[in-house]
Amino acid sequence: MAHPHHLRDWQPADATPAVDPRESAALLLRDLRTRVEGLTEREARRRLEVHGPNELPHHRARQWPAALARQFTHPLALLLWVAAALAWVAGTRELATAIVAVIVLNAALAFWQEEQAEQAVRSLGEYLPQRCQVRRDACSRSVLAAELVPGDVLLLNEGDRIPADARLLSGAVEIDASALTGESSPVERAADLPDIASRPLDSAVLVFSGTVCTGGAAEAVVHATGRHTELGRIAALSVRVRVAESPLERQVRRVAWLIAAVSAGVAAAFLPLGVLAGLSWAQAFLFAIGLLVANVPEGLLPTITLALAAGVRSMARRGALVKRLSAVETLGSATVICTDKTGTLTRNVMRVVEARDGAGEQTSPRIELATALARCATADERASSGDPMELALLAFARTCGAEVGAETREQQRIRLFRFDPHLKRMTTVDPTTRGVAAHVKGAPEEVITRCTSVLPGSGAARPLTYQTRSRLVEVVNEMADGGLRVLAVAKRDFTAPPADRTTAESQLCLLGFVGLIDPPRPEVAAAVGACHSAGIQVHVVTGDNGRTAAAIARQVGIGADHVVHGPALDEMPEAELDRLLTSGQEIVFCRAAPESKVRIADALHHCGHVVAMTGDGVNDAPALRRADLGVAMGASGTDVAREAATIVLADDNFATIVGGIEEGRRVYDNVRKFVLYIFAHTVPEVLPFLLFALSGGAIPLPLTVLQILAIDLGTETLPALALGREPAEPGLMEQPPRKRSQSVVTRRMLLRAWGIMGTVSGVLVLIAFFAVLLAAGWWPGTDVVADPALHHTYLQATTTSFAAIVFCQIGTAFAARTDRTALRQVGLTTNRLLLAGCAFEILFAAAIIYLPSLQAVFGTAPPPAWAYALMLPFPALVWGVDELYRYRGRTRSAGAPERPGAGISTASRSEGSGDVGRDGAPKPPRPSGPGPDDEMP
């Protein structure tokens, strides 16, 4: 862009025009060099260059030096520092150095992992940039909030986040300024209120960036953007992303501490044992430290954070933006989804497919009906902005010959009583040739009760009789049963504008009904099926008619045997609601007020469910906050809902929630695989030490301390990380949801890690060790240090132990890839990272065994070739025994009675057409009962 030089040289800081936003609107417009019609697009671009983007300066969320320092000072690291100091004091400088190297490496790795996690969450903002409506070149358009400039005319609506500081020009809004002022009750702001407040924040004509519009509509002129706004000045950046510790991380931290305490205990116990076995105190001390260092699980926590962050990333790719790391995990344990209908289950692309006259008959629509629809709307067909339902109604009105231009409509309109989700109707008062008329549209039951006459397909209006009324109810039910959204349209003529809403909406003449079709999204039925086999129930909570909602629900396979009407829900006692929600039926809550969602979320939570609740409107915010997982609509939802929610669906699609649940389950599973793998090495590492101690020194130590360090902190790291990236296991979505209280470490996991894979590895390692020693003529009690020939054999034997553990851990890694299924089903090569990790593991081990410089440090000597032949089957043996254990588990559970939670899938399949329930109602998804997966005490 060509700019005069003086403009380009301007610093944004000096560029704010010195205006007083509290002067009169006319003066302010003049000072900002703008008009009610808005800036021109070209001028807006120019100003953007001058004032800079409407963004707050990014101060990095994390101060990296502090974050790095934390990695060196967390309790587990401190434990290692103590060990290093002790090693130094004991005179073993190289061990001390090795421990310090371990601390540094670990800190670097943890820092990098956390940085990655931060980055994953931070970048989410870029997926969902805030947009706002402005008027430019006299037309309304949607622009990025970051491109707003002083002088822009903002069009504010219910649910919008205020993107900049502005002065109202017309209209009135209700503002929630709690983010800025801490005041939680909404305040009234209107263009024509007197401005008598002492501080600008309280001014009745100003609105500020960072607050939200919870009701009403207004136009306002922007006077400050970016860091010149009040929000920018107080630098109270509202933190959108919370990186609080998740329950999973808390649990793992506990486990890490438990292991650290056990290792410290084992190390302390080793001291006297070692001395009894004939070691000097100094040597025993050294081994104790080695044991301690080897078993402190330093890498556990950051790796889990990284796994969660990877989950956040891949969910974002699937269209679900998660604002909190822990939500990934919560999603994986969801047991119930409460979903909206329009836009989530359906496509929100509406079309009028049926019209009836005031008597309920199918005739060609009269112009009165079309005119009422054209007048009673806020959408703009030409700009295709506004509610999709209204756009469909306008299109229909146009084909019936009505004038649907938004501009004339708004100019002529005398009053607008907005759509209210509680009243379920809206009304406008517009001029007619003979005076004025109130045009009403809304839910049929709300409108019919306010009618006293009907307009048939031809001829004059006639009184609404009792018979006609029952006929109308039948007609509406018939239309709704076909899945149509039915709206009633009515009008009343006045000589002068009615005084209030009640008058405008009384003694109406029913003009007819329109039925809109909104087909289900094609992918939803499969997603609902997936929920059912995963033991997840789906309830529908909608403001729409029960029959319409039930019809749509059935089309996508949701049970919908029980339809609960809003008023009935309001009167239902808590106990009955709890009973209903635990009955295992899938329920359609219809004509529900937004507050009902809070009640449903609370009741479900009370019954032990983990609830994902969707919402899009301002009134949904409390429910979104209250549910375990608030899910907001990214495309059609309001800013308010998006702020309150934990997850934002970029595409508003129900199927995306289910994708998120699968992702959450996968991440949780992978963390467990990773923990299993890390745990399994304990036995083959500790067993040699115990043998040495218990034999009273007759058996030389089969493994050195530095070799243990090389395994735990060298060869094993990459395969462990790779397990965190394992693809979803087959049958993952056929498992019932896990219990909310279930611990990551279960008894079954410990049995596999220590009892099966660990024990097998331990035995194999000792076999290899003794084979090398015995082959060279060693016998228990022979001193391997005194005899130089035997000493070399001893070095070869310990190296063989080291190599054997590496071999066994490769088998463990492959076994850990699956929790229940056979590895054949998972596929041997499906985790490329793991293959690479194992290759690294082997290269690293080879370097330690064969590079002379490393041989000196780690005390290694290349084992004889036949020892490798002996060890070659080790991976297959370790994996094979675990494979047998899993096989036994599968055959057992196949013989056992069906697990609860899988009930839903069976019910829905056996009854066909997704008609879940009836008598064979699905069981509520109860996570698997006590069994081998029993929680840790």
Ligand X SMILES: Nc1ncnc2c1ncn2[C@@H]1O[C@H](COP(=O)(O)OP(=O)(O)OP(=O)(O)O)[C@@H](O)[C@H]1O
Closest distance to ligand X from the beta carbon of 321 (Å): 21
Nearer to ligand X, 485 or 681 (CB): 485
> Residue type at 90?
A
Rounded Cα distance between 85 and 83, Å, is 5
Segment near ligand X (CB under 6 A); pick from 59-67, 211-219, 419-427, 712-720: 419-427
Please tell me the distance from the alpha carbon of residue 298 to that of residue 305, in angstroms, as a whole number: 13
| Residue 651 is a catalytic residue | no
Q: In this chain, which of 229, 295, 326, 542 binds ligand X, going by CB under 6 A?
A: 542
C-beta of 387 vs 602, nearer to ligand X? 387
From residue 606, alpha-carbon distances to 578, 579, 625, 808 in Å are 8, 11, 16, 46
Should residue 505 be labelled a site residue for ligand X when binding is judged by CB under 6 A?
no
Return the residue of 368, 544, 662, 729 that touches ligand X, per CB under 6 A.
544
> Least separation, in Å, of the C-beta of 551 and ligand X?
12
Name which of 488 and 797 has its Cβ closer to ligand X: 488
By CB under 6 A, tell whether 51 contacts ligand X. no
Closer residue to ligand X, CB minimum distance, 191 or 635 = 635
- Least distance between ligand X and beta carbon 650 (Å): 18
Nearest to 211 by CA among 241, 186, 242, 192: 186
For 629-677, give the DSSP string.
Answer: EEEEETTTS-HHHHHH-SEEETT--HHHHHHHHHHHHHHHHHHHHHHHH
Classified as helix, coil or strand, 392 is helix
Is residue 419 a contact residue for ligand X (CB under 6 A)?
Answer: yes
Least gap, CB of 474 to ligand X (angstroms):
18
**In the stretch 804-833, what mask flags binding to ligand X with x, by CB under 6 A?**
------------------------------
CB of 389 to ligand X, least distance (A): 6
The answer to the question of residue 342 lying near ligand X (CB under 6 A) is: yes
Under the criterion CB under 6 A, does residue 388 sit at the interface with ligand X?
Answer: no
Binding range to ligand X, per CB under 6 A, among 38-46, 462-470, 538-546, 836-844: 538-546
Residue least distant from ligand X (Cβ): 543
Q: Give the one residue of 165, 249, 298, 340 binding ligand X; rule: CB under 6 A.
A: 340
Site string for ligand X, 422-441 (x = CB under 6 A): --xxx--------------x
Applying CB under 6 A, the span of 62-70, 168-176, 418-426, 834-842 interacting with ligand X comes to 418-426
Which burial class, exposed, middle or buried, applies to 164 when counting CB atoms under 10 A from its CB (0-12, 13-18, 19+)? buried
Interaction of residue 609 with ligand X, rule CB under 6 A: no
Token pair belonging to 351: 């079309």
Instruction: Single out the residue of 311, 543, 702, 901 in contact with ligand X (rule: CB under 6 A).
Output: 543
In the complex, least distance from residue 925 CB atom to ligand X, rounded to whole angstroms: 23
> Where are the strands (E) in 474-633, listed by range?
485-494, 508-517, 537-541, 562-565, 587-590, 611-615, 629-633
CB of 582 to ligand X, least distance (A): 24
CB 557 within 8 A of CB 527: no
> What six digits make up the tokens of 750?
């410990």
**Residue 408 φ then ψ, to 5°:** -60, -40
Nearest distance from C-beta of residue 496 to ligand X, angstroms: 25
Which range, of 338-346, 581-589, 647-655, 772-780, touches ligand X by CB under 6 A? 338-346
Q: Is 442 in the site for ligand X (CB under 6 A)?
A: yes
Does 421 help bind ligand X (rule: CB under 6 A)?
Answer: yes
| d(C-alpha 494, C-alpha 760), whole Å | 91
For 909, the token pair is 């399949």
- Interhelix angle 654-680/788-816, rounded to 10 degrees, is 160
271: left (phi over 0), alpha (psi -120 to 50) or beta: alpha
Chain Cα centroid distance, residue 346 = 21
> Closest CB to ligand X among 13 and 568?
568
Other Cβ atoms less than 10 A from the Cβ of 610: the count is 23
Residue 355: partners with Cβ closer than 8 Å, 6 or more residues away: 362, 365, 369, 396, 512, 513, 514, 515
State in angstroms the smallest separation of the CB of 352 from ligand X: 14
Residue 228 or 425: the one with the smaller Cβ distance to ligand X is 425
550 vs 296: CA distance, rounded Å: 56
- The two three-digit tokens of residue 212, written as one number: 């939200």
Nearest CA-CA partner of 599 in 617, 622, 631, 583: 622
Closer to ligand X at the Cβ: 501 or 748? 501
Q: The sheet that has 336-339: what strands, in order across it? A: 320-322, 647-649, 629-633, 611-615, 336-339, 537-541, 587-590, 562-565
Cβ 179 to ligand X, closest distance in Å? 26
Binding mask of the shown chain, residues 462 to 491, with x at each position contacting ligand X by CB under 6 A: -----------------------x-x----
- Residue of the chain from 132, 443, 464, 709 that contacts ligand X (CB under 6 A): 443
| Binding flag, residue 409, ligand X (CB under 6 A) | no
Q: Is 595 in the site for ligand X (CB under 6 A)?
A: no
How many whole angstroms separate alpha carbon 582 and alpha carbon 203? Answer: 50
Which of 152, 160, 176, 340 is an active site residue?
340
In terms of CB distance, is 285 or 396 closer to ligand X? 396
* Residue 542 CB, nearest approach to ligand X (Å): 3
Point out which span in 162-170, 285-293, 417-425, 793-801 binds ligand X (CB under 6 A): 417-425
d(CA 386, CA 382): 11
Task: Please pick, from the candidates 387, 523, 602, 934, the single residue that binds ligand X as defined by CB under 6 A.
Answer: 387
CB of 486 to ligand X, least distance (A): 7
Residue 430, classed as helix, strand or coil, is strand
Helix, coil or strand: residue 428: strand
341 lies in the binding site for ligand X (CB under 6 A) = yes
The amino acid occupying position 72 is F
Rounded-to-integer distance, Cα 788 and Cα 663, Å = 58
State which of positions 616-655 bind ligand X (CB under 6 A).
Answer: none
Nearer to ligand X, 215 or 719 (CB): 215
Candidate segments 162-170, 529-537, 541-549, 906-914, binder of ligand X by CB under 6 A: 541-549
The only residue of 329, 390, 628, 639 in contact with ligand X, by rule CB under 6 A? 390
**Which one, of 807, 774, 780, 768, lies nearest residue 793 by Cα?**
774
According to CB under 6 A, which residues from 200 to 259 bind ligand X? none
Contacts with ligand X by CB under 6 A lie at 340-342, 387, 389-390, 419, 421, 424-426, 441-443, 485, 487, 542-545
Catalytic machinery residues: 340
